[in-house]
Structure formats: structure tokens, C-alpha cells
Amino acid sequence: MSLLPMDFDILPPSDDRVFKLILTSPDSKPVLIDLIAATIRRRVVDVVVRGNELPLGDAEEKAERLDVNCRIDDGSQVDLEMQASYMEETGGEHKNLKGKSVYYLCDLHSSQSSKGRRYDELAQTYQVTFCSYTVFPKLPDYANSFSMRHDTTNDLLSDAIHVIYVELSKLNEIIKKSVDDMTDLEKWAVFFRYADVPKYRETVNKVIESKEALQMAGDLLMSVSKDEHERAVFRSRRMYQSDLESNIATAEYRGEKRGEKRGEIRGERRTKLTIAANMLKRNRPIDEIIEYTELTREEVENLRDKLLQQ
């Protein structure tokens, strides 16, 4: 077991590709077993990683790709997703992300064969999303689980399907805790959120030392981070996302240019703040954001503080 070097540029495990590489490696079964058990709060003995494409309903339907699609020892299905990029939304309620979770959950649950079986004998299905930004600002907990219950009495209709969100943006107090006082899921959340952040490298290494499965995850992360091909893929994906966000922001700015000069100034500043916010959500260094947006350090730090409070 090797700890993460203090001065090494670690790829973020909160990136969906890096996340998938860590959890689907031939050596990652103990890692996956421990992570799933911590997330669904049940003992897990074995796990099998399955194909990440759900079967098509008809010839014109687009295949859905799941990040990590698993079946555990009791037959339950678990889909683990990492949502690193902020999904385009309207109204600030993240309805698109929530709709995606429900759609994937229902499709995965209904992909089971019901031939010769009672419907209540179908395996349970869990859709788990680790999210780099806040989805439920009014809920204090970083991990929130949803099931099918009566709207008024809260009586459980069925425990067949579950949607779980782990919000990595809500770890400000957890990162301050002693590692000995952290739950297993808190340790995994800290690993995914902070492993690539030098400021928290010492704490992350203590988290890694505390559990064999996390030691293996740390070794897998180092292996991915040292792979020049994967580093090139990560840079290319990051540049594409930055260019896409810049193009969207530029289009918004050009639309605002039709207004008066004051509107132009506000539009330009809004463009820079939008790009800076998205880069902060992807945990990019402040110096890089300053260089890219030409905002002042104070402006970027104030924006970071506002995002942490959401």
C-alpha cells in the first residue's frame, strides 16, 4: 500500500471516467464491495460488474450507458454514477438530474426477466449518484435516500427501488472530523471529493490508511494518475468541457450585447463568473481560474465561499 504523494498531480476520482476506471479494474472487487455496502448500508459478500448498456426497448431508442452497473450476492442490482459536470437546468431544482436518476432506476429494474416469477420476488434495485454539486440545498445531510412511500402517512409501498444521492459538496464539516469518527461512507465521500486536492492530501492519506478497501482504491487511483494515456484523455475531456461552457457563456453574452452598454458589462462579468463557478465545481485550482477568466483572486474566493454555502 502506498499513500498519495504530497506533490503529485492526482487525477480527480470525482471525474466520471476516473471513477469508473477505479471501480471496474480487475483488482477492484473488494473496493466495490466495500463502497456498495457503505452506500446501501447492508452487508455485501460478492459483486459482479455487468455490461454498462441497458437493453433497448425498440430499434429507435438510444442505449443508456451506466457508469458502474453491478449485481451483488443476493441478486440486488446497483448502478453507481458519478455526476461531475453540472447538468443544464432551469429553475434551480435539478429536475433534469433527478429525472435521469428515476429513468435509469426504472429502466434497470424493469430489465429483469419476470418470466415465471412473482413481481414482488424481483431483485431490489439501487440507483446511486455521487454528485460534485449540491442537489438538495434545504437538506443538511450529504447522503439522501428515497423510496416509494405514501404521500401523507409515509407508509412504505415497496422497498424494491431506491434512489440515493451522495452530495460531495456538503463535506465541509466532515473533512474536519477525526478519521476515527468518520463512517465508512464519509470516508469514501472524502476520498472522492478531496483526493486530488493538495491542501487535504494528509487527511485523505489518513482516510486511505484506515481501511484496506480504501488502500486498494488509493493504489488504483495512483495507477490511473500515472498513466500518460489517461492523463491525456482527462486533459482533452476537461478542455472540451471548458470550451463548451465558454461557448455557451459567449452565446449568452452576445445575446446581451443587443442591450445597452451597462447590460454588456454585466453580461461579460456574468460570463466570467459562470465559467469560474463551473471550474470551481470541478475543483480546478484558483490560480488556473484567475488566469482563464481574468477575475481577481478576491472575486474567485468570494464565489467559492458562496458555492460552499449552497
228-241: per-residue pLDDT in tens?
999 998 888 777 66
Who's near 72: CB < 8 A, 6+ residues apart? 33, 36, 44, 45, 46, 47, 48, 78
Query: Where does a domain end: 178, 208, 226?
Result: 226
Query: pLDDT tens-digit profile of 240-267?
Result: 666 666 666 566 556 655 555 555 556 6
pLDDT reported for residue 236? 82
The pLDDT of residue 21 is above 70: yes
Query: Where does a domain end: 208, 226, 244?
Result: 226
Within this chain, do residues 129 and 33 fall inside the same structural domain, yes or no? yes
Kindly state the cell numbers that stand for 92.
434551480
Within this chain, do residues 171 and 77 fall inside the same structural domain, yes or no? yes
Within this chain, do residues 209 and 304 fall inside the same structural domain, yes or no? no
Domain membership of residue 271 as a residue range: 231-309
Q: Who has greater pLDDT, 90 or 98? A: 98
* Per-residue CA distances from 177 to 5, 187, 192, 268, 288 (Å): 22, 10, 16, 40, 29
Please check whether residue 66 is in contact with residue 103, taking contact to mean a CB–CB distance below 8 angstroms: no
pTM: 0.76
Domain count, the chain: 2
Mean residue pLDDT across the chain: 86
Q: Which residue in 276, 291, 285, 132 sits closest to 198, CA to CA?
A: 285
